[in-house]
Structures are given as C-alpha cells and as structure tokens.
A and B are shown apart, each in its own frame.
Chain A
C-alpha cells in the first residue's frame, strides 16, 4: 500500500487566507482509508480549520500513534513535519516535542484504540501536565486495521458486524479528562463539519492540552445496525450541548454584545471563544457541573457534543516549569554550557 501523492494543480481562483495561502496548501497526500471513512471528514475539517487560522505550515507539527486514525497525519499540511510513532505513545513523543520547542502548533491525531487502551496512561498524563497540544481522538469504537475488534470506547450492547454484543463498559475520554485535570474538552461528530471546524480552531488556540473526541464511524467494521458509533446512530442521538463561535485574534473583533445565555472565554493567544448556546445552568468552566450534565445525557442515551469544558487559566507545561520563551531546541551551546572556569569551581565541592 504505497503512499499516493496528490497532484498539486494550481487553482488561481481559490480564496486565500491571511498569509496568502489557499486551502490546498493545507492538504497532504491522498488518503488510503476506506471510502466514506469518518476520519477523512475530520481531516477535511482540520485542513479547513488550519487554513482559516492561517498558521504557517512549517510551524505545525503533526504527530500520531498507530491505527487508521494515526495514518491521517499524512493527509493534511504537506508542508509540516510529521511523526507517525508507535502505538499508544504519541502523547509522550508530543510532550517531548513541545518541551523542545514551545513555538509550534502541535496537532496530535489518535484513535480510540491508540488513546483509550494501549495509550490510556500517556493520554491521562499529557492531560494533567497540560501539554500544549491539539489532541484529536478519531473515535469509532473499533480496531479497523486488525479487522474489527471492539475497542475500549465501544458501548455496552453495541454489536459487532456479525452480531456479537460488547459486554464491557466504555471508557469515555471526556469523563476521564474531567477527572484527570484536562483543560479543554470537546466532542463532535465527523459528519458535522459545521460544528467541528470552529471546535478545532478553538482547540488549536487553547493554551494547554485540548482534547477533541470525534465520533467517526468506521464504514467497514462498525456502521451497521446495532453499532452505537454508526452514522445513523450518531445522527439520531447527537445533542449539541453547546454551540460556540471562535474568533481568532487576527480578525478584528466586532463589538458584538453577547446575547442572553452567551458566554465568552478569552483564549490564551487573545482570541475569543463565544458560546452562543448553552443549556440552562451549564457552565463550561465548572468541572463538577459538566460531569453531572454529561452523566445525565449519557443516561438518556444521548451523545452530547460541543466544547464541553474549558479552563483557560491553568498554566501549561512550560508556564508551570518556568521555561525560557526562546525554544530550548534553538538555544546555542554558549547559552547552555557553564564553561571551563566554572567547572574548576564546581569541582571544589569534591575535594
């Protein structure tokens, strides 16, 4: 299965973003996933979001683990460095990358197997460290590359293609994030680009670990009757819990007066996140309230989507560490080595 390069046909009439690039500049190589795969829709939303954010492609770093989802880092922003690592370990590799250079936008793409089984521990720890990283879980409830075993996000009673039901309770990454100190948690649906694009943009602007759990049906192994991660099921059970607009800092912020029930969050980089619609009594900054709201929705069999929790004040990994603003990877040796004279001095302690 070789990689297929997309031909770069110049299309002069395509709209350009703030730095003069078209959406094609944010695409990657051709997807080798199954036709109709939810992951490809997420890739498309991501391309759109990054184009709209007008990030310089080489200032993006793409990281992934192993699985169908993890292959998608090849399918967007060909001008960005990519790192397709090992199964379940992207979070740690991204943590190291962020440690080395705090100036880039890090996009991690993972799946439910990669994140909720083999990589569960690393995901939790990246969240509690508040590593500045947009972390997408392309969640289809199934292991695709190994042909259809249940993953840890499969719901109780959800059935395999041949009818066998899943008996084990699912791990919900949002609930886990709320319990592990995550600072940005969102859920969306690969079939809902209108909602997904602003969520991805807000997540990219978040000053810490931003997890976006995207229900992404597997057309080959988990899109049948009886699946709770199918297009049909998700469309029927999705409840947009919150609806939000994201206004990047580059665009002039109009003096919109927040209407009734709206709430604004100033993002780390100065951009604005405005919740247009929130359920009554819902506060996306109140961990306990969000937990109880989501538990109620889940009990009703509903899939609550939207930006579900935001804490923009928590320090990220670098702020907590007190790291210099200059990326560590760009420091010169002269900045880092104490020098010969000091070595003589240090060694007095060992006489």
Chain B
C-alpha cells in the first residue's frame, strides 16, 4: 500500500520513532537496532520515552542518526514504527510529510487514519510470527525482532551486523538464537519482497564511531565509583537512579571480590529510605571510607537534613542525583533538570554545596571520580546532577580513559605521626589556602579524637552558643565554598566569529544547543556557547556572562533554576539573562532552542 511520492535520498541523516506497548520486549529489539547502527560507524542516539508502569502502557523509542554527530532528540520523524494500535492516531500524526509508517498489517488499518503525504508500509508481523512460532509469549517477543528485520531491509542496516549481535546475545542459548534469527529473517524477507529496499532515507557504513562506545550514564557513573575507590554505597530504589547502583553492584561483584576467598572489598546497603542511605554514607565517610549514594529528586528532598549535617560537620559525601520530572512524584520516567536549586542550597540554615553537572555518560565517569576527590579535599557533600536522559539512555561517547598514575585526593587527614607532633589537635582550626582544616579518622590515635556535631561549635569542635565562636566557623565555610570554585571542572566554551549573544546551558542540553547554534549561525545569528559543569561557577563563567549583552540560558525546568543560580551567585545583571525552557519531560531538541532564540531576537531586530 504505497500511497505517496518518494522522499529525496538522505543518507545517515534521519530520525525514526518506534511506538510500542511496554512490557512486550520491544526495548531489546530497539536497542539492538541502535547498537547495529552504532557498529556501522554512524553517529546515533536512542531515547527511551517510557511510562512509569510495568506492562501494557504506550512506550516510545526514538532513534536519530546524523553523520555530523547532531543526535539530540529530533522531534521530526521520517519513519514511524507503529506497533501499538492504542496510539495509532497520534503516532501517524507525528510523521513528517513525505515520511514513512511501518505497521502490522495483520489487521486492517482504519482508513480514516491514512495520510496522503505519508507512505504506509504494512507487514503482517503477527501473522508471520503466528505461522512460525508456537508459544504466546514467544510470538509477542519475536514480533519485535521481526519489525527490526524489516527495518534492517528498509534502512539498509547491515544484516550481518544484526545477525552478529544476536549471536553475541544468544550464542549460548541455541533455541533462542534460532528463533531470533528466524524472526529477523522473516522481517527482512517480507520487506525485500514487498518494498523497494532500502528507502531513500537510509544508512551507509562510515567511520564516525572510531574510539567510541555506546553506554548509559548510570553505568559509567557506577564504573567511575569503582575506579575512584568507593567502598561503601547506600541507596534506596528510585527511578531513574536504580540502574546506577545495579551497575555498581555488578562491577563490584566482578572486580572487587576476591576470586579465591570470595571476600568483598565493598559493602552495598539497600537502606530503608533515603534518609538512612545518606546517613550511612556520612557515617562511612566520617570513618574514612569513600562512600556514595544514588537517588533522584524525591530522595534528595529526604536527604536534606543530613546533607546539612555533613556540610556543617565537614564530612565528605558523594551523591548522584539522577534528576527526573518533579515536583513531588512528578513523572518518574521523564527527564528534567529541576533539582539545581534544591541541591545547591540543600538543607536548612546557611548551606551551599558543590555541584557537578555531567553532560554525557563519559563525563559521568570522569565526574564520579572528581566528586570523590572534591568531597575529600573540601570535606563536604558533592552532588553530581545527572538526569534520566543521560543516566538511562545509551549515548555514543569517546571511550572512557584511566591513568594508573591517578592518586586519590584524600584531602587533609592527619596520621598518627602528624598528630604526635602537634601540641593539641583542633579539628576546625588552622585552615589551609582553601579554608579547609585537617581532619582525623577514628581508630588512628587518641590524640586525634574530636567530637563531630551538627550543633554550634568552636574551632575545636566544642559546643558553643557564643556568636563570635559560631561565626568564625560558618564564615570559614563560606570562604571554603568560594575557594572550591578554582578546583572545579571548567565550563565548556565555544566562541563563534561575530557572535553578539551568548548561550549558556547545562548537562544533557549540550548536543541540542550546539546543533541549534549551528542552525542559528546559518541564519545569520552566530552565538557563543558555554556549558557550566560545576557550581560554584568560577571566573570563566563570570567573564562569559560579563562579555555578552544578551545571554540565553537554556535549561530543562519551568522556573529557570540555572538562571536563578547565576543571578544569585555571579555578578551578572539579571536583565541580560533570558530563559529558554523546556520542561515537558522529554529530552531537549535543537528546534526548541532555535525557535525560542529566534523568537526573542527577531522582534528586537525589527524594532
């Protein structure tokens, strides 16, 4: 049933969306396609837009390929794989004019759904699977592999690559391997017999992924924790952070367990709630271990009190906040960057924390290690603000690298000999250039004993209610936070000739914003780019803001939290900062940024 004119040929530059029912096994077929495209050397991204549900609700997966590496979410779909009759109407409506729709033609399509400007490609997937497979569950699962097969033919995905991937996955299970290979073949053959394959939108092998890996941010953050030498982890299950601790558990099982004795060089505690999780982290870090927790916004809310304790008692702690859509329970399986302010000032009283903002899974690995170094150097909580998009979706990033010359920065910790040389140890006295004072660990020497407390204390750590003594300590904490700015990862800055405006963004917005800046430059609006990677911000951010009369701040929350933090914590005139906000829960697209900035600038130029 081909109804419309062919699209112009576009190689390695298109987007497809797959509409499925969750819990039916589509996720593995979709990531199979994604991985196959990756192995063809074509820059690719996969965004899983899934419901907070186990089975039966609509779920989508978007794949975008782009030879230039612009693989942020597209929002314009050249091909829709419509495998969920519940959502046919909106899925069909979303296809770009001149695009394609692949559907299961076992059942007739309601003629009212047909669009003249879209090519409908029907494959009787259910019928094919019912003919070749017997079990009900098997038929449902393999239908996914069958549509993957049709896509292999339609898009010119290397059939050998896909077959190889199935081999790797099911090599040890001959029955599964056979059935999967058969389902794949059914899809390929049907498409080849009935359609002109490949379509004008198609793939060709290239070398865009040399030296790269396909990985999600939670896995790489977990691996970073292993390499950083974290030994105690405590957590409470919460989407979308759970896979971070799952990965840490798997890595530790593999790389931290003595092969002979089976003894573990780590302890992972699934706590009763997030309050206990951060309590365990703080207790372990007070006692000298590198410890961390992973959570999401609701967990951070619960952790606030103990974060304040760690800030004031000056105890290192590392927290990964895999942000999701708030407020409250919000949309647990949707992404956002809406915990920025909550984390920056977590807990009551005057508190200010160190934040790291990774922009992709590779930075999740690097910043995980950095977080432990900073937490121990500055004896304070460090929060790594990832998000669902970075944490749970697979990204193509440069390989992770490690130097065996890495020495963990354990900060100022006095050993037995150093303590013996002191006349008297005072926990919060004699700050260094960073306003950090030396700490001691339990079990080392009675000379190092002190009393850590969240109550008002003097430089000796002794309880006080005397204003001067109290202020002496809290004033130093403020200076310490300011001093930490020099030790943060620098912002990423890219300047364009002739740029008048600046664009500041954060985290996973990176790709969409860079793509948008390319488009804007083509339209005659070159803009300079800055991605903040840490709080406190530091001089480079100050200078960038000061150097542009208009700065757009692109972020994924309703209340312009990054913009707020910039106005509070830098000298920028807030009138210069204009917001571009995307907070519906899906990853940012370049179009959103281009449209918003264009709309802001156009009337100004007309005037």
Contact = CB atoms under 8 A, between A and B. Distances in A.
A97 interface: yes
B291 interface: yes
A57 B407 CA distance: 32
Nearest to B461: A82
Interface stretch (A150-158, A168-176, A333-341): A333-341
Interface in B511-546: none
Nearest to A324: B263
Contact of B265 (A122, A124, A336, A343): A336
Contacts of B441: 81, 329
Contact of B262 (A322, A337, A344): A322
Contact of A125 (B214, B272, B287, B440): B272
B289 A329 contact: yes
Contact of B284 (A96, A344, A346): A96
B170 interface: no
Interface string B128-158: 0000000000000000000000000000000
Interface string A80-121: 111111100101111111111101100000000000000001
B454 A80 contact: no
Interface in A295-351: 317-318, 321-325, 327-331, 333, 335-340, 342-344, 346-347, 350-351
A3 interface: yes
A95 B285 CA distance: 11
B264 A321 contact: yes
Contacts of A338: 226-227, 255
Interface string B233-272: 0100000000000000000000110100111111101011
Interface stretch (B395-403, B573-581, B593-601): B395-403
B309 interface: yes
Contact of B450 (A81, A96, A322, A350): A81
Given A89-B306, A104-B442, A329 B288 contact: yes
B306 A329 contact: no
Interface in A1-54: 1-3
B452 interface: yes
A58 interface: yes
A3 B305 CA distance: 24
A329 B282 CA distance: 13
B271 A333 contact: no
A70 to B, nearest CB: 10
A92 B271 contact: yes
A321 B453 CA distance: 30
B404 interface: yes
Contacts of A101: 287-289, 442-443
B271 A61 contact: no
B306 A99 contact: no
B587 interface: no
Interface stretch (B67-75, B92-100, B273-281, B487-495): B273-281
A81 B449 contact: yes
Nearest to B38: A351
Contacts of A337: 226-229, 406
Contacts of B280: 92-93, 95-96, 99
A103 B276 contact: no
A1 B403 CA distance: 52
Interface size band for B: 35 or more
A86 B287 CA distance: 17
A78 interface: yes
A74 B214 CA distance: 53
Main SS at interface, chain A: helix
Contacts of B462: 2-3
B283 A74 contact: no
B465 A351 contact: no
Interface in B204-241: 213-215, 223, 226-232, 234
Contacts of A321: 264, 267
B451 interface: yes
Contacts of B433: none
A324 B443 contact: no
Contacts of A2: 462-466
Contacts of A59: 443
B47 interface: no
Interface in A122-160: 122, 124-125, 129
B603 interface: no
B28 interface: no
A80 B272 contact: no
Contacts of B267: 99, 317-318, 321, 323, 328
A289 to B, nearest CB: 29
A226 interface: no
Interface string B388-421: 0000000000011111101110000000000000
B111 to A, nearest CB: 45
Contacts of A99: 232, 267, 269, 280, 283-284, 289, 291
Given A96-B234, A96-B282, A324 B454 contact: no
Residue among A56, A95, A125 with most chain B CB within 10 A: A95
A79 interface: yes
B564 interface: no
B443 A335 contact: no
A86 B454 contact: yes
Contacts of B466: 2
Contacts of B465: 1-2
Given A95-B280, A333-B407, A337-B226, A328 B442 contact: no
Residue among B39, B442, B453 with most chain A CB within 10 A: B442
A323 B263 contact: yes
A37 B280 CA distance: 31
B446 interface: yes
A154 B462 CA distance: 33
Given A96-B283, A122-B272, A323-B263, A350 B214 contact: yes
B395 to A, nearest CB: 10
Nearest to A71: B463
Contacts of A100: 231-232, 283-285, 287-289, 291
Given A2-B466, A323-B263, A328 B289 contact: yes
Nearest to A73: B451
A86 B347 CA distance: 12
Residue among B214, B288, B440 with most chain A CB within 10 A: B288
B309 A86 contact: yes
B256 A336 contact: yes
Contacts of A346: 223
A328 B263 CA distance: 12
B286 A97 contact: yes
B275 to A, nearest CB: 6
9 contacts: A1-B465, A58-B448, A78-B449, A92-B271, A96-B284, A104-B287, A122-B279, A329-B441, A338-B226
Nearest 8 Cβ contacts at the A-B interface: A96-B283, A92-B279, A79-B446, A329-B288, A100-B289, A96-B280, A93-B283, A96-B284
Given A331-B231, A343-B400, 11 more contacts: A57-B446, A84-B452, A85-B453, A85-B454, A89-B305, A96-B232, A99-B269, A99-B283, A104-B287, A104-B443, A350-B214
